Amino acid sequence: MNGLPAVPTLTPAPDRTADPDGCLAEALRTEQAHLADLYAHLDAARARALRTLATLGREAGPGGTHQARLERELRAAEAVRHAARLDAVERGLCFGRLDHGDGTVRHIGRIGLVDDRDGAYEPLLIDWRAPAARPFYTATPVEPGGVVRRRHLRTRGRTLVGLDDEALDLERLAEHDRRTLVGEAALLAALGRERTGRMRTAVATLQTEQDRVIRAPLPGALVVQGGPGTGKTVTALHRAAYLLYTHRALLERRGVLVVGPNPAFLRYIDQVLPALGETEVVLRTVGELFPGVRATAPDAPAAAVVKGDAGMAEVVRRAVEAHQALPAGELRFGEHLGLSRRVCAGARDAARGLCLPHNRARAFFLRAVLDALAVEQALALGRPYDEEEARYAPRELWEQSAIRARLDALWPILTPYQVVDRLLSDPALLAVAAPGLTPAERAAVLRPAGSPWTTGDIPLLDEAAELLGEDPGSARARARAAGRALDEELDYAEGVLTLAGLRDDATDVTLNADLLAERFRDNGPDRTTAERAAEDREWAYGHVVVDEAQELSAMDWRTVLRRVPTRSLTIVGDLAQTGSPAGSRSSWAELLDRELPGRRREVRLTVNYRTPAAIMAPAAAVLRAHSPGQEPAEAVRETAERPHTVPVPGGDYAAVLATLPAGPGTVGVIAPDDRAAALGALTVRDCKGLEFDAVVLVDPAGLLAQGWSDLYVALTRATARLTLLHHTPLPTVLAALEGAATG
């Protein structure tokens, strides 16, 4: 296999369903008793958490000192998080057991539980992320690491419904234990189950190469290249849960951001992390990373390429600077008062030289031109321009509406929405800001003012927000309007942050005085870290997971990386599945080295656990035909059912779809972009990252015309059955299917 690790053998254990010796029944009784004890401890822990919340609720209120209120807030927040974790692990609390050669038995589950009844604090359940649990994922018959038996427990609710055993060191396994080996390979059983429309956790069936990714160190960017069915998404999510467990003091305060390819994908995965006991996670598409905007519509390919190019950062900068205008000639304010273009240019250049965001630098520009006006006014009136005059004259001039309006026009307060909307709708501004674009490229991005935001606009808005900053004058005005009480709360909050050591570096903006003071004022429900992070564009996450990362443009990456100044990321994707015209197809180095020089390490997932070999065969043929340098992941599942082809004379796909039997499990209908809406089908973009028991693929030739990677992605979404409907001959690369298994 060209140096790749050997494919694991997924062989069922001998059939022991008859259980002539009653060993299975005995094992089930023993494990059920232990499971009942675990749930009793979970219930007790949950009751304690609820009592703590009730006590804190009775103590809540505006009274007490700031210190007491802060302590109560922090205790309440921790109690809420703890209760949420306990609720989330109800389903599948315990899923495994390890028997060691020295007689030690450890049960493995979603969280850790201890028996504290006698004050001994004996471990009852080991958290799957703890070092002691790692052999559950890494032990093999060749390297058992002291483990003689690994047992997988299958539960329904709080009831044990089955056991699956693997003997890893048969020589050291006691005779009684040898006779109680039962069940089938756990991974094989899990893969054979029907899909439900939601991604399940894989915590009970993670494989060794996936475990290495999950437990890799936190610092730096880990790039996980994996073909269809290699489990890269579920591996990345379990890595997020592992990192939150291992580095809780850091990541629970900062949170983790998961960036996915589309809203359907986020709905598909949204229960995985809560089920693993983690709630401090924000799930977003790139189109949702700018608070207040939810963009789902993609750009046309030509526009996507232009907007996604890294050079658009400079275009947005020039667009902002274009609003820092100079008068055509002298600005006159009456007979004796005026501003020359030279004075305005000097003030503008000085303000730009401060390297501050536009809205903050505006104050320096205004002060410079108002000072110049005040000097001219003093001279005209024959008054000395002394310290007293310098203190009051500029302010008096600013209060004159005619002067204020004309100076506002030279350096206005701007919002990101104003800058980007004008840039994309004003041909003159676009020509000034983007002189390097061709006429065709400018035409591709121009649109009417006020058009709905697209996914490609979000990085431009984010770039503009970074260049503009907030208007400090307005912020101060809001603070003054709130009164002295707010100032006192802010001062106190600043002191608390310093004393608590929560300002550990200059880039840590996860908890600031404004947020802390707001929590003092808010008597409503506690907001989690994830809730606060989702509302704050400048939030610095502790770790970011990017799935289907090959789809991100250079500008998308700028937006994502702005949210993780530590550059701690898990980046998962497959370059062969790139569908975005602005994404990357050649290498991760080309995509990431500009932004992550020297901070990137790459690993590969090589085994396709999801896609049956019969379905993967035509997909692999597509990959080899169009990208000879890429090797498909090795499929390890076999099914009796082969792909079906169904000719559709005349192309009446709707009629044929209505007659197809639904079959068991989930069914995904995937069609070319120009047919999907009429058929109620998914586009390839919609189904990125998803899987279905059965896939009906409409018009393979049409999908290939969109790009070979679209056909490749569509062919690899099925876990059991694949049907291809076609009204023209199948593409040459799929011709072997035609007539071979026609439905």
226 belongs to an annotated ligand binding site = yes
How many of the other CB atoms lie within 10 Å of CB of 672? Answer: 22
| CA dist., res. 79 & res. 49, Å (int) | 6
659 belongs to an annotated ligand binding site = no
**Does an H or E element contain 627, and which?**
none
Structural tokens at position 520: 């003092």
The sign one gets for the Cα dihedral 396, 397, 398, 404 is positive
3-state secondary structure of 112: coil
Q: Which residue has the tokens 């500009």?
A: 594
- Closest by alpha carbon to 144, among 134, 153, 154, 152? 134
307 belongs to an annotated ligand binding site = no
- Residue pair 113/37 in contact by the 8 Å Cβ criterion: no
**Does an H or E element contain 420, and which?**
helix 416-425
3-state secondary structure of 435: coil
- Residue pair 322/467 in contact by the 8 Å Cβ criterion: no
- Residue 472 gets the label, from left (phi > 0), alpha (psi -120 to 50) or beta, of alpha
How many of the other CB atoms lie within 10 Å of CB of 192? Answer: 12
* Alpha helix segments (H runs only) across 446-587: 458-468, 472-482, 484-500, 513-521, 529-535, 554-561
| CA dist., res. 439 & res. 161, Å (int) | 67
- Residue pair 248/597 in contact by the 8 Å Cβ criterion: no
229 belongs to an annotated ligand binding site = yes
Q: Which three-class secondary structure string do you get for 564-592?
A: CCCCCEEEEECHHHCCCCCCCCCCHHHHH
227 belongs to an annotated ligand binding site = yes
DSSP 45-74: HHHHHHHHHHHHHHH-SS-S-HHHHHHHHH
- Closest by alpha carbon to 712, among 642, 615, 583, 613? 615
Radius of gyration of the chain from its Cα atoms, rounded to whole angstroms: 31
For 344, what's the count of Cα atoms within 13 Å in the CB-facing half-sphere?
19
629 belongs to an annotated ligand binding site = no
- Residue pair 41/113 in contact by the 8 Å Cβ criterion: yes
* Helices and strands per DSSP (H, E), number in the chain: 31, 20
What burial class does residue 723 get, using C-beta atoms within 10 Å of its C-beta: 0-12 exposed, 13-18 middle, 19+ buried? Answer: buried
| CA dist., res. 356 & res. 348, Å (int) | 12
- Closest by alpha carbon to 604, among 584, 631, 578, 585? 631
| CA dist., res. 39 & res. 573, Å (int) | 38
The order of strands in the sheet holding 692-698 is 644-647, 718-726, 692-698, 667-670
What burial class does residue 7 get, using C-beta atoms within 10 Å of its C-beta: 0-12 exposed, 13-18 middle, 19+ buried? Answer: middle
| CA dist., res. 201 & res. 134, Å (int) | 17
| Cα angle: 249, vertex 250, 254; to 5 degrees | 120
Annotated binding site: 226-233
Binding residues for ATP: 226-233
